[in-house]
Structure 1
Amino acid sequence: MRFTSLIVSTAFGFVWGGCVPQVTFAAPILTEPYLDVVPRTEAEMARIKSATRPTTDFSKPEPFEQNSAGKATTRARSDHDAFSQSSESLSFEQELDFKLGNGLFKKLWVSSPSSTLASDGLGPLYNARSCQRCHLKDGRGHTPEGADDSRVSMFLRLSVPTPAQTPMTEIETYLAALDGDAVTARTSPEPTYGGQLQDFAIQGHAAEAQMDLQYTERAVALSGGETASLRVPTYSMRDAGYGAFADDVQISPRVAPQMIGLGLIEAIPVADILVRADADDADGDGISGRAQVVWSQEFKQPILGRFGWKAGHGTVIEQSADAFAGDIGISSPLAQRPYGDCTETQNSCRKAVHGDGDVRVDEVDAQGLDLVAFYSRNLAVPERRDVSSPEVLRGKEMFYAAGCTSCHTPKYVTHRLASQDNTAQSFQLIWPYSDFLLHDLGFGLADGRPELRATGTEWRTPPLWGIGLTEQVSGHTQFLHDGRARSLLEAILWHGGEAQNARDTVADMPPDDRTALIQFLESL
């Protein structure tokens, strides 16, 4: 990536390791208004630079490598609750808040009107009745297996191209200043069905439609005479409840991601993420990570996108509020839509009885939303297993040699936070294995659906911590944004675009080295 050695003012307004990236656009500074940050000293910057330097010694584990989340790491468990533990450093009072948030996360919402005035407001259209229904045991969702299997932890995002004459939103105006002529195609919710397909409805209302999914198999040759088979998905929608879909509808399948380590991701300095962005591939390494930028409803300004398959949210609490509204139909102070994702065309849904009114302004109030966000921020990352194993260390070397760390950045040090509410996230050496940037992964994984700066072929690099516990927690080994990969190897083989060289290196390496690489991933 290209840098200058001069300390100059940039549009992003940051300095990292004594260097700043060359930035040619004029746009507002990206900040973290949701964090109370203590500035780093020069001595701390030197320590951080040393601690986060990529390793070249694969003969032994790195210092503190076993504790993927610093002091927020929890002890490894052998049951389904490995992702449902709180950060070890929470106080007694914070542990109580964590448990209350967990209760709200599991809470089953009911339709209005109801005698349970604190729990009504479901829908009228929805994808799940609780957060836990999608993020079962705080792990990954799954694809439907068989005609009768539930689609609860998977749905389709919907959009259409925005008509050219439509006025730009605040974030679109910002992105136009940021990217100029290269601005991503603008999209809007599907006129009738909104931003996502909701396959459930309360009594008296029709569900929007049902998602259908079919696979075909494609063989892939590997070194050593080995082969793999990739399942290629085809998506369709049937039983439309509100008329025809727009001819130019864009769909994107999404499986619920795992929940661990979110507060730590939120505490990574903006500068440490943006410094890895190289939109024009100035260094010629074939990797062109771009930062997603989103609008903060809470702070009324653009912020860095960090969460979601295309980094469509910048904070845990706004991600939570949007999920309440879109997935369950529950309004909150940050998403005051008691009808959820219902559009103006779905008139009966808009006019239905909702859970807001005289008893409470929003269906989940500010305190409840804060508790759910606190719970989500403090779900601990389990400690690594087998970090000293020679086979795992060999696999780690293969991971680096293949170039996987070009996007899956191993480690960061989080902000030093002034608030005592964030002690678990403050100044921790963490190992998420992600740069949290958007990358073009090729047409094989493309959904063709732009989202803010993300094109139809771009996805945020997902963090890898905890990935080896997926089967233990979630009961399956399905990966990628739509769960098409049935193993970690299949997930690698689906990579294209910027990751094509890394993918080909893994496919061509000696089988024993490839096996070791998978064992390294399973240790995360």
Structure 2
Amino acid sequence: MQFAIQGRFQRVLLALALAGASAGLLAWASVPTPDPSEEKPGGDTTVFEVGLNAFSFPAANLDEAGRTKFAIGNSFFRRNWVEAPSSTAARDGLGPLFIARSCGGCHTQDGRGAPPNTFKHGLSDEQPIALLFRLSVMGADGKPFPEPTYGDQFTNSSVQDVKPEGKVRIRYTELPGKFADGTPYSLRQPSYQFTNLNYGPMQPHTMVSPRIAQQMPGVGFLDTISEADILANVQQQAGRSDAIRGMVNRVYDPFAGKEVIGRFGWKANTGSLAHQSAAAFNGDIGITSEHFPAENCSPKQKNCLAAPRGGVNSGPEIDNRTLDQVIHYEATLAVAARRNYNDIDVRRGQALFAQAQCAVCHRPSYTTDGTSPFPALRDQKIYPYTDMLLHDMGKGLADNRPDGLANGQQWRTQPLWGLGLVPDVNDHSFLLHDGRARNTLEAILWHGGEADAARQQVLKMPKADRDALVKFVNSL
């Protein structure tokens, strides 16, 4: 409770203890007055926007030169790349295998993806774009390596004269349950099948991990959280008497040229925004760069290996300058202000969030230092609601696929800022690593493992408290 339950929250818990209140009853008089800085989760970068474009504004404190670079990076983030050879030399090199034709193809309006058959007019066999699938098999030495035929990521699109790897079929099973007050709920469990495989069968016992595209605002700030703060989270949790025990992933970052703490991806498997961006260009769009120079073609994919390449004089298909402009764009996307942060129900929900220990993993705030390469992000108090650590989330959410130090039941704590604006921007409310949760409450109910005690508290809450908790999370 060292991070979240301080000051006013301590008074909330004291009032609860004195009153002998249960987990589902929070006295109205105990609701804290929020810190005014909470309205601006991105500090001075924050914009007061809602609606379709809420995730797409530049940081409010970005200077003129920064805004120019932002606009250039935006164009390369959103516009489609094309097949080589092409007269559009700055944008050719798509594929040969790919998932999307642009970064914006997965991060629509800089927002969050969804499984293809959960859109209002989608078909159950529509192919995923914003949902990718990591693949690996276990070696004799006990370490995972890419599936020999299809590599480390399944791709269902391709350029002409190259066969796509195949198709994905998604099905759901409903899992019914009840809250303590008798109110029913249902969670949906996804299953995946790979069909129309064009390069032969996958190896038996291939491990599969679905990963949905996350919203972009705030990613630059995640790079500014100091390693000392992240390791302090580990230390604080190690001293707790309950099951919460976060750990860092450690990965090799080609931009840093060394092993660093993992920060990005659902399992914290990339070490910086630059690392994450270049890897996504390569794996999702088929665009090579200085640190990712090889196309994602396995030795068995002969037509993929023989396909034309983009780039100047057989060099990288995205040069360092252009990649830097895209990274600048991503890093300086503004975090939108909270809505209704002073609403009485939101404030009650915030106190319940702390009481249920949600704020231990979803650490509310940090203060950035002055070392960021992006001046707009320096010396800001931010509210991302994450500890940046891996946690065992139980068998229900397990993908059973190791990724670096992360085991098959561990996931990085998801930042919560912007969550309530996803319906505005992307016209859906699907959450978690594979989009299985149809709303915020379902996402909470999927929490297990280290978070099971928090989940049990929510199951015992009366409807008014559940609604207040959800209203708080959706205000972020």
TM-score, normalized by length of structure 1? 0.83
Match runs of 1:174-213 below 5 Å? 186-213=143-170
Task: Point out 4+ residue stretches in structure 1 off by more than 6 angstroms.
Answer: 49-54
Deviation track 1:377-417 (CA, whole Å, cap 9, x = no partner) reads 01111001111111100000110111101110000111222
My pick for the range that moved more, 347-356 or 303-312, is 347-356
Q: 2:325 aligns with which of 371, 376, 397?
A: 371
Residue 355 of structure 1: aligned partner: 310
Q: 2:181 aligns with which of 210, 224, 240?
A: 224
In structure 2, give the amino acid aligned to 1:248.
H
Q: Secondary structure at the match of 1:369?
A: helix
In structure 1, give the amino acid aligned to 2:301.
Q
Distance 1:465 1:448, change over 3 A: same
Shift of residue 458, structure 1, vs aligned partner: 0.2
Shift of residue 424, structure 1, vs aligned partner: 1.5
Distance 1:124 1:54, change over 3 A: farther
Match runs of 1:229-308 below 5 Å? 229-277=186-234, 281-308=238-265
Residue 512 of structure 1: aligned partner: 464
Does the Cα contact within 8 Å between 2:89 and 2:311 map onto a contact in 1? no
Residue 491 of structure 1: aligned partner: 443
1:95 aligns with 2:67: yes
Deviation track 1:217-258 (CA, whole Å, cap 9, x = no partner) reads 111111322111101111110000101101121001111011
Distance 1:213 1:262, change over 3 A: same
Q: 2:421 aligns with which of 469, 481, 488?
A: 469
Q: 1:160 aligns with which of 94, 113, 137?
A: 137
Q: Secondary structure at the match of 2:469?
A: helix
In structure 2, give the amino acid aligned to 1:286.
A
Does the Cα contact within 8 Å between 1:431 and 1:465 map onto a contact in 2? yes
Residue 40 of structure 1: aligned partner: none
Shift of residue 128, structure 1, vs aligned partner: 0.5
Does the Cα contact within 8 Å between 1:89 and 1:423 map onto a contact in 2? no
Q: 1:114 aligns with which of 86, 93, 98?
A: 86
Q: 1:459 aligns with which of 408, 411, 430?
A: 411
Shift of residue 54, structure 1, vs aligned partner: 8.0
Gap regions ≥5 residues in structure 1: 2-16, 18-48, 165-184
CA distance in structure 2 between the partners assigned to 1:208 and 1:282 by the alignment: 47
In structure 1, give the amino acid aligned to 2:377.
Q
The two structures, once aligned, show a CA RMSD in angstroms of 1.9
Q: Secondary structure at the match of 2:467?
A: helix
Does the Cα contact within 8 Å between 1:211 and 1:235 map onto a contact in 2? yes
CA distance in structure 1 between the partners assigned to 2:235 and 2:208 by the alignment: 28
Q: Secondary structure at the match of 1:519?
A: helix
Shift of residue 299, structure 1, vs aligned partner: 2.3
Deviation track 1:467-507 (CA, whole Å, cap 9, x = no partner) reads 01111111101000000000100000001000000011011
Q: Secondary structure at the match of 1:320?
A: helix
Residue 25 of structure 2: aligned partner: none
Does the Cα contact within 8 Å between 1:279 and 1:289 map onto a contact in 2? no
Does the Cα contact within 8 Å between 2:127 and 2:156 map onto a contact in 1? no
1:345 aligns with 2:309: no
Deviation track 1:157-180 (CA, whole Å, cap 9, x = no partner) reads 10111332xxxxxxxxxxxxxxxx
Distance 1:298 1:469, change over 3 A: same
Deviation track 1:192-228 (CA, whole Å, cap 9, x = no partner) reads 1011100001111111011111001111111322111
In structure 2, give the amino acid aligned to 1:400.
A
CA distance in structure 2 between the partners assigned to 1:50 and 1:261 by the alignment: 20
CA distance in structure 1 between the partners assigned to 2:5 and 2:270 by the alignment: 28
In structure 2, give the amino acid aligned to 1:312.
N
Residue 328 of structure 1: aligned partner: 285
In structure 1, give the amino acid aligned to 2:332.
N
In structure 1, give the amino acid aligned to 2:394.
G
In structure 2, give the amino acid aligned to 1:60.
T
In structure 2, give the amino acid aligned to 1:295.
Y
Does the Cα contact within 8 Å between 1:268 and 1:414 map onto a contact in 2? yes
Residue 383 of structure 1: aligned partner: 337
CA distance in structure 1 between the partners assigned to 2:342 and 2:100 by the alignment: 42
Residue 71 of structure 1: aligned partner: 44
CA distance in structure 1 between the partners assigned to 2:270 and 2:236 by the alignment: 20
My pick for the range that moved more, 325-334 or 51-60, is 51-60
Gap regions ≥5 residues in structure 2: 12-30, 118-122
Shift of residue 111, structure 1, vs aligned partner: 1.2
Deviation track 1:268-314 (CA, whole Å, cap 9, x = no partner) reads 11110111115994532210100011101122211111111001111
Q: Secondary structure at the match of 1:372?
A: helix
CA distance in structure 2 between the partners assigned to 1:204 and 1:81 by the alignment: 37
Q: Secondary structure at the match of 2:395?
A: coil
Q: Secondary structure at the match of 1:277?
A: helix
Distance 1:386 1:216, change over 3 A: same
In structure 1, give the amino acid aligned to 2:129.
V
CA distance in structure 2 between the partners assigned to 1:445 and 1:457 by the alignment: 7
Match runs of 1:49-60 below 5 Å? 55-56=9-10, 58-60=31-33
In structure 2, give the amino acid aligned to 1:343.
S
Q: 2:97 aligns with which of 115, 125, 129?
A: 125
TM-score, normalized by length of structure 2? 0.92
Shift of residue 150, structure 1, vs aligned partner: 4.3
In structure 2, give the amino acid aligned to 1:322.
A
Identity, % of aligned positions: 41
Q: Secondary structure at the match of 2:185?
A: strand
Distance 1:75 1:99, change over 3 A: same
Does the Cα contact within 8 Å between 2:253 and 2:259 map onto a contact in 1? yes
CA distance in structure 2 between the partners assigned to 1:300 and 1:423 by the alignment: 23
Residue 46 of structure 1: aligned partner: none
Residue 34 of structure 2: aligned partner: 61
Q: Figure out how many residues of one structure are paired with residues of the other and give that number.
A: 452
